[in-house]
């Protein structure tokens, strides 16, 4: 295994272990202002409690972790997720792997001649389950088939973004609460045939009512603050009219999504990506035209609150 397989990592500092990292982990740390620690050749089939603690520390510290040299079966992948926390069962069954509900399938490739999962998921900036009162703390993605040239997950470090906000935007987010919704990202299913767009939005809106979270979250482990907003799911600001809120969010998110804030992690079928949904937002790259693409995602609950600020989430009627 090449320890620096990507050109983006060619100038990474020499490998070194963090003080809390057991010697059994081969870790490559990111440069300053970049996310993503790389763990080489972990035996994910037999992780020890010490390795799990070290992985948690690395993902909380560096926000994204990349596991290289992986070749796991579906059940081994789920067992690895279970070692790290509690695997999520996604709330919409049409995303599930037919044999493993823990696996959320993003794929444009039929399985045994049948459509499986959903094609083209997450191609907008978001944080997973941001639209629920209890968001998803961690996500893993394991590419199974990578067609074309450009598949990757992109990240924005929302701790760094918050620290760098210009004064007018910093004043906007201070003590603010943002509103989040999923219904504008709903993907039509075969069951929706003959329903009007209004009916579909009302039905899905009832399942996923608008939720409010603090605009700035306090991390439960690192006690650092992060900006909690995304173009995908953040739709308004408490105390502002919808028009005012949308305009202010648009200005904020234009700044967040500046090119210099965006980092890319390429997909490879021997790599698993793991990230902390509190500290980064992410966006899946568009698949090249005609290219086959399948990835298996597992959400992981780490048993910690999403943020420690009060008041917490509020579901709006």
User: Binding marks (x or -) toward Fe ion, 56..95, rule CB under 5 A?
Assistant: ----------------------------------------
Q: How many residues bind Fe ion (CB under 5 A)?
A: 2
Instruction: Select the span of 2-10, 75-83, 119-127, 235-243 touching Fe ion (CB under 5 A).
Output: 119-127
Quote the least distance from Cβ 277 to Fe ion, whole Å.
8
Distant-in-sequence contacts of 222-228, Cβ < 8 A, 24+ apart: 222/60, 222/61, 223/308, 224/159, 224/279, 225/159, 225/162, 226/158, 226/159, 226/162, 226/278, 226/279, 227/158, 227/161, 227/162, 227/165, 227/173, 227/256, 228/127, 228/130, 228/158, 228/178, 228/278, 228/307
Of 245 and 271, the one with the shorter C-beta distance to Fe ion is 271
Instruction: Select the span of 4-12, 121-129, 179-187, 254-262 touching Fe ion (CB under 5 A).
Output: 121-129
Quote the least distance from Cβ 2 to Fe ion, whole Å.
28
**Which residues inside 124-143 make contact with Fe ion, applying CB under 5 A?**
128
CA trace torsion 187, 191, 196, 202 (10° rounding): -70
Quote the least distance from Cβ 220 to Fe ion, whole Å.
20
Of 8 and 121, the one with the shorter C-beta distance to Fe ion is 121
Distance CA 158, CA 291 (A): 31
Distance CA 274, CA 196 (A): 38
Residue 122 within binding range of Fe ion, rule CB under 5 A: yes
- 169 three-class SS: helix
Of 116 and 281, the one with the shorter C-beta distance to Fe ion is 281
Quote the least distance from Cβ 94 to Fe ion, whole Å.
16
> In the complex, which residue's CB is closest to Fe ion?
122
**Which residues inside 162-221 make contact with Fe ion, applying CB under 5 A?**
none
Instruction: Select the span of 64-72, 93-101, 120-128, 162-170 touching Fe ion (CB under 5 A).
Output: 120-128
Of 122 and 135, the one with the shorter C-beta distance to Fe ion is 122
Residue with tokens 């609950």: 301
Instruction: Select the span of 50-58, 102-110, 115-123, 152-160 touching Fe ion (CB under 5 A).
Output: 115-123
* Six-digit token string for 262: 């965006």
Of 128 and 302, the one with the shorter C-beta distance to Fe ion is 128
Distance CA 90, CA 102 (A): 7
Q: Among residues 107, 164, 138, which one has the least CA distance to residue 273?
A: 138
Binding interface with Fe ion (CB under 5 A): 122, 128
């Amino acid at each position: 295994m090449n320890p620096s397989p990507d050109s983006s990592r060619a100038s990474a500092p020499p490998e070194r272990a963090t003080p809390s990292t057991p010697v059994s982990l081969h870790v490559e740390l990111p440069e300053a202002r970049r996310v993503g620690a790389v763990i080489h050749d972990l035996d994910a089939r037999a992780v020890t409690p010490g390795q799990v603690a070290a992985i948690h520390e690395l993902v909380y510290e560096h926000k994204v972790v990349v596991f290289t040299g992986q070749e796991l079966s579906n059940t081994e992948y789920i067992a690895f997720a279970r070692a790290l926390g509690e695997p999520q069962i996604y709330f919409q069954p049409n995303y599930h792997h037919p044999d493993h509900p823990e696996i959320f399938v993003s794929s444009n490739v039929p399985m045994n001649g049948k459509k499986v999962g959903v094609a083209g998921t997450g191609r907008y900036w978001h944080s997973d389950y941001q639209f629920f009162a209890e968001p998803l703390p961690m996500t893993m993605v394991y590419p199974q088939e990578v067609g074309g040239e450009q598949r990757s997950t992109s990240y924005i470090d929302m701790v760094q973004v918050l620290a760098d906000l210009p004064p007018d935007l910093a004043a906007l987010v201070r003590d603010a609460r943002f509103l989040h919704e999923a219904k504008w990202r709903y993907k039509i299913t075969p069951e929706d045939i003959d329903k009007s767009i209004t009916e579909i939005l009302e039905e899905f809106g009832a399942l996923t009512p608008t939720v409010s979270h603090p605009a700035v979250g306090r991390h439960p482990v690192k006690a650092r603050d992060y900006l909690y907003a995304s173009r995908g799911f953040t739709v308004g600001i408490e105390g502002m009219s919808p028009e005012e809120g949308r305009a202010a969010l648009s200005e904020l998110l234009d700044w967040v999504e500046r090119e210099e804030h965006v980092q890319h992690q390429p997909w490879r079928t021997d790599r698993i990506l793991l990230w902390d949904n509190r500290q980064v937002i992410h966006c899946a790259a568009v698949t090249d035209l005609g290219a086959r693409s399948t990835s298996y995602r597992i959400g992981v609950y780490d048993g910690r609150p999403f943020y420690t600020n009060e008041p917490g989430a509020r579901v709006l009627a």
